[in-house]
Structure 1
Amino acid sequence: MPHLKDITEHSSTRRSFFKLAGSVSAATAFAASIAACGSGSKGSSDAKADGAKAGEINKDGTITAGIAYDISTTFAPSQASGAGPLAANIHIFEGLYGLDPASRKRYNALATADPEKIDDTTYHVTLREGAKFHNGDPVKASDVVYTYGKFTDKSSLFAQFLYFIDSVNAVDDSTVEFKFNQPFSLFADRISLMQIMPESAEKDFEAFGAHPIGSGPYKFVSATKGDHIEFARFDEYNGPRPALAKAMNWSILSDAAARVTAIQSKRVQAVESVPYDNIAVLENTSGLSVESVQSFGLLFMMFNCEKEPFNKVEVRQALFYALDMDKVIKTALLGNAEPATSFLQKSHPDYVEASTVYTHDADKAKKLLKDAGVEDLTLTVRSTDHDWVVSCVQLIQESLKEAGIKATIEPTPSSSLYSDYVDTGNFDVLIAPGDPSVFGNDVDLLLSWWYRGDTWPTNRFRWSGTEQYKQLQEYMNAATTSSDPKAEWKKAFDLLSDNVPLYPLFHRKLPTAWDSETLVDFKPLPTTGISMLGVGTTK
């Protein structure tokens, strides 16, 4: 399915594009979705010391960047699912709370303080005094209520993450009341995904999606598909992260070679999604810093759990033990990933090692297959057709052969992979990338993407009828109502590692390059995209 393709698969070459105006597709389907250990000549902490100094910031300067993803969806926050618009929107819009794009830590944005707890299922949030939208209108509680309605509309993919909210009401112009249908301990972090839109957007919502109006530090100026996104400083912004440049110009550079050339020549000051095999070249370019930041973004293996013999847990485990992930990571990704030891990457604040950690053990794989009564296993592995994924799958095919498993690999464009094969049940094993952490970093959100609702458990890996699935839901629900949820998350991680209906093979590092001689306080991100919040330029 193409709607979330460019976020969730982080492709550097092939991708499907959508028209921005007149035919914007609402993200109504869910596709496999899109990070701090580093490798690079200079980490982000070195950039300021070795390059530009804070006192040299040119407040009338222009920041330039190259992004890897085109304008594939509307900019309207409740509908935006493309990586390009999502990256732009963190500069154009504000939520009540924000998650720092680099650290993933929460901060007050339009809200003046943490939510005020009225009772277990009622919270009040007070808005920042004097906050304005780019058209000059004040930000009011009624705008928050309107935005909530758009985010929970059936056409919004974000509705699935706001399931715990019963109603949102304006107490007065500056106070918003949230009523829950259950206690929910992660409210402040979760509500950060809801970027506030003015009520006036409803007059022509399609036009708003093409020319967005927010309350963030930068105003949208223009965008041309396949070419650029242009921003200007919002001089009336009074929030915590003002624009430090007069303008920003982002070049859309979908071609990986074009990004490398642009940053080498310093035509742009930063680029995301540096190809792994170009990291060394850029490290040796004068004035550039390169860093690969550990992400949640994963490559997962998923089974058709209704189909023999993949309905047997021993068979699913056997395939995981058969894989030499160290070899895959070293060869295909040049070391830019960590093998999965849990659902989360090790750098995540809620990480805990799972009860089962898969390492390369062909003999154990063979024994598990024998115990399951399976001989001469032959299967088809379908995958996305991105170059780096195909390289991984070819190495995976070799590992399976060593364990006596004959696998045919079928790389397929995502536009047809999900609709023609996965959603129809016409597959054995799927290997694909995913990363919903672009929407938020709390454990419930990351788990919910794949393990709540019908889209994945029922219609894709077809495991929702099992007792193990029901137990998983109990663990997840208990965690969201607990004041200390880590014990319940641990149970969920263990259950998933033991049953592996869909489970990560590795978590990737995301390489970013930037001009540390001209950008001040720039930090590479653990998700797809570029952030210039709090970043200045000497140019």
Structure 2
Amino acid sequence: MSSPLPPSPAPAPHRERPGRRRILAGGAAVAAGLLVQPALSACGASGGAADAHLRVGAAAPAGGITFDPRMPSPGAGALILAHLYDPLVRLRGGSYEMRLASAAEPNADATVWTVTLRTGATFHDGRPVRAADAAYSLRLLYDPKSSALAGGLAAYVDTAGIRALDARTLRIPLTRARGDFVGAFLGALSTVFPEGTTDFAARPTGSGPFRWTASASQAVRLTANADYWDGPVRLAGLEISRLTDPAARVNAVVAGQLDYAVGISAAAARAHAHTAGVTIHRGGAATSNALLLAMNASVPPFDRPEVRQAVRLAADRTQLVRNVLLGQGQVGNDLVGLGLPGYADGLPQRAHDPDQARSLLTRAGVTGVTLQVAELVPGLAESAQVFVQQARQCGLDVRLRTVSADTYFADPAALRRTAFQTFYVINRPAAVHIALMDAKNAPFNFTGAPASFYTALDAALATVDDARRAQRFQEIQQDFHDHGGDLVWGFAEQTDASRSGLAGVAWSQGTPLFHRVTV
């Protein structure tokens, strides 16, 4: 897996800017993983895509990129999985798309779900995608001993009871009713791989629009799946490279070393808005990241509601969006799901009130806290610096402890014990986010909650009637807004950069999808 990549298919002529053969600002990381040959892309050469190989740069942890859908690495890892594999259901914007599934229906009390698979889908090795493959995949994905993603979802799925009724019909029994099963489960975690797969590293096999071709320590090459069930793939291939520094990614595009940079800063987007040969792509509110400060309500001093309230009042969200996102985002109101179905948009916007914040902190006897910071996405480190100044005006000394983004997720248990940290989450519909991220055993539940919250959440999740369930989630959001530990200060659109002439990028939960791209 660490050998140099073999030569790629011969590209059509590729025009690079003279004198720009080196990636700027730390771009040597790309060269470490890429080929030792000329540019891979044929972008701009023919106006079609049959011969076009797109070079993409994205962040990834220091430990490298995994092909295991049970333990995905963020950034480049998620991007690769999205193109190698298909899920049963996928969230696109505010709605759910049936992918390998063609239908999903509950029984009367939503304790058993029956999923019907579409016809015509095949794995990269030519085998048909069967209900038995989906059953095997879900048993592994929802087993907390096997999957890093199972979290609080695992308690609801009777994994031993998942079985194929025939080649296209899948039966999924639950331990408790979940009226939101399609969105909260299948829309979040339903990647399908061949039955019996145990080694995902040797030759990862999915049914997605691209096949695995080769890997090096810092890059992975994928080739178009000519037999893709969802129509022809418009690129000949992808090469995805690990490049952690967002400035290096955008500079690599400007220099002609990459064709597409995933995740660039607001400053870079502004700086290159009129750069010749560069296009800035915005995914819109539905593909934004919610940027936040997470206060752990189970750890002092944030176990005191007045301290959490004071910190929220200390934050000037408008200034944060203006300074950190350069106005290229939306102000948050301590809830996730802005612009998506089910969001509690009737709640009053949290005000910036430094005087009340100072009063609450004085009564609580709290004068200082430590904020753990990692630049997991562009803007988090700068937001911490801005908040330090805002908190100082309220009599609160915020000390920063900076840690590496490369190793941030190495010990999730330690993160769940951290009192105060910067974080981001993909903007999902509110009910899906709460069920996925704030359940009691969710791997990234960094804010804790009292037992009463989990009781209310369980009641909402078990509600079969859609309207009543929606109302209960409105009440949960009200409680979050009043008493929770998330200070959601803003929403940053997924902002990427590419060389000009590229069109057709789509996004799913912040991950760009390239199989419909034309160049």
Q: What band does the TM-score fall into relative to the shorter chain?
A: 0.7 to 0.9
The question of 1:335 aligning with 2:324 is answered: no
Residue 105 to residue 456, structure 1, CA distance change in 2 (3 Å): closer
Q: Does 1:409 align with 2:400?
A: yes
1:184-204 CA deviation, whole Å, 9 max, x = no partner?
2323333142111112423xx
Match among 135, 159, 166 for residue 172 of structure 1? 166
Where does the alignment leave 5 or more consecutive residues of structure 2 unmatched? 1-24, 28-32, 34-42
| Residue 291 of structure 1, aligned match among 281, 292, 300 | 281
CA apart distance, 1:231: 1.1
Q: Which residue does the alignment assign to 1:158? A: 149
Q: 2:350 aligns with which of 358, 368, 391?
A: 358
- CA deviations 1:193-225 (Å, max 9, x no partner) are 2111112423xx2xx234210111211111222
Alignment correspondent of 2:75:
83
Structure 2 residue corresponding to 1:65, chosen from 47, 56, 65: 56
Report Cα offsets for 1:270-316 as digits up to 9, x if no partner.
Answer: 21112222223321122432134434523333334355553331221
Superposed CA offset, 1:55-108 (max 9, x none): 9533333233222336734212122233222211111111222334xx353223
Amino acid at match of 2:394: A
Preserved contact between residue 342 and residue 431 of structure 2 (Cα < 8 Å): no
Superposed structure 1 runs of 4+ greater than 6 Å apart: none
For these two proteins, the number of residue pairs brought into alignment is 468
Give the Cα separation in 1 of the matches to 2:60 and 2:70.
Answer: 19
Query: Aligned pair in 2 of structure 1 residues 485, 126: CA closer, same or farther (>3 Å)?
Result: same
- The Cα of 1:455 is off from its aligned counterpart by 5.7
Structure 2: distance between partners of 1:194 and 1:424? 25
Aligned-residue offset at 1:321 = 0.7
Letter in 2 for 1:327: Q
| Structure 1 pair 456–502 and aligned structure 2 pair: CA distance change class (3 A) | farther
* 3-state SS of 1:157 partner: coil
Which residue of structure 2 aligns with residue 533 of structure 1?
Answer: 515
Deviation at 1:483, TM superposition (A): 4.5
Is 1:383 the counterpart of 2:372 in the alignment?
A: yes
User: Partner letter of residue 383 of structure 1?
Assistant: Q
How big is the shift at 1:355? 3.6
Shift of 1:169: 1.1
Check 1:209–1:177 CA distance in 2 against 1; reply closer, same or farther (3 A cut): same
1: CA distance between counterparts of 2:50 and 2:190? Answer: 29
Q: Deviations over 1:374-399 (max 9, x none)?
A: 34x31222222328333222221221
Per-residue Cα deviation, 1:326-350 (whole angstroms, up to 9, x for no partner): 2222223322332222412432222
Note the C-alpha offset of 1:229: 1.7
Alignment of 1:300 onto 2:282: no
Tell me if structure 2 keeps the 8 A contact 1:384–1:417: no
Question: Residue 528 of structure 1: CA displacement?
Answer: 4.4
State the TM-score, normalizing by the size of structure 2.
0.80
1:132 has 2:103 as partner: no
Paired letter, 2:266: Y
Q: What's the counterpart of residue 36 of structure 2?
A: none
The separation in 2 between residues aligned to 1:363 and 1:258, in whole angstroms, is 41
The Cα offsets for residues 480-503 of structure 1, whole Å up to 9 and x where unpaired, read as 763553311211111011112234
Kept in 2, the 8 Å contact 1:296–1:344? The answer is no
Distance apart, 1:527 and its partner CA: 4.5
Q: Distance in 1 between matches of 2:232 and 2:263?
A: 26
Q: In the alignment, what sits opposite 2:17?
A: none
- Contact preservation (8 Å) 1:184, 1:481: no
Question: 2:484 — aligned with what?
Answer: 500
SS at match of 1:300: strand
Mark the runs of 5 or more structure 1 residues left unpaired by the alignment: 1-11, 15-19, 21-50
Distance 1:81 1:445, change over 3 A: farther
1:520 corresponding residue in structure 2: 503
- Structure 2 match to 1:46: none
Establish whether residue 312 from structure 1 lines up as the match of residue 287 from structure 2. no
Q: Secondary structure at the match of 2:395?
A: coil
Counting only pairs closer than 5 Å after superposition, residues 30-429 of structure 1 correspond to structure 2 as 56-69=47-60, 72-100=64-92, 103=93, 105-111=95-101, 113-120=102-109, 121-153=111-143, 154-160=145-151, 161-166=153-158, 167-189=161-183, 190-192=185-187, 193-202=189-198, 205=199, 208-226=200-218, 228-237=219-228, 239-292=229-282, 293-294=284-285, 295-306=287-298, 309-353=301-345, 355=347, 357-369=349-361, 373-375=363-365, 377-386=366-375, 388-413=379-404, 415=407, 425=417, 429=419
Q: Confirm or deny: 8 A CA contact 2:289 2:510 kept in the other structure.
A: no
| Distance in 2 of aligned mates of 1:421 and 1:65 | 32
Report the RMSD for the aligned CA atoms in angstroms.
3.4
Distance 1:401-1:480 versus aligned 2 partners, 3 A rule: farther
Which structure exhibits the higher relative contact order, with contacts defined as CA atoms closer than 8 Å and separated by 6 or more residues?
A: 1
Counterparts of 1:141 and 1:502 in 2: how far apart (Å)?
40
Whole-angstrom distance in 2 between the partners of 1:416 and 1:261: 25
> Hey, what's the Cα distance between the residues in 1 that align with 2:409 and 2:193?
34
Pick from 427, 441, 450 the counterpart of residue 464 of structure 1: 450
Inter-partner Cα distance in structure 1 for 2:123 and 2:76: 22
CA 1:78–1:408: 2 relative to 1, 3 Å: closer
Aligned to 1:69, the other structure's residue is in SS state: coil
2:328 is matched by which residue type in structure 1?
N
User: Does the Cα contact within 8 Å between 2:344 and 2:474 map onto a contact in 1?
Assistant: yes
- Answer yes or no: is the 8 Å Cα contact 1:65–1:268 preserved in 2: yes
Contact map agreement 2:317 2:352 (CA 8 A) in 1: yes
Distance of aligned partners of 1:260 and 1:326 in 2 relative to their CA distance in 1, 3 Å threshold: same
Q: Distance in 2 between matches of 1:218 and 1:78?
A: 19
Cα distance, 1:451 vs structure 2 = 2.1
Partner of 1:36: none
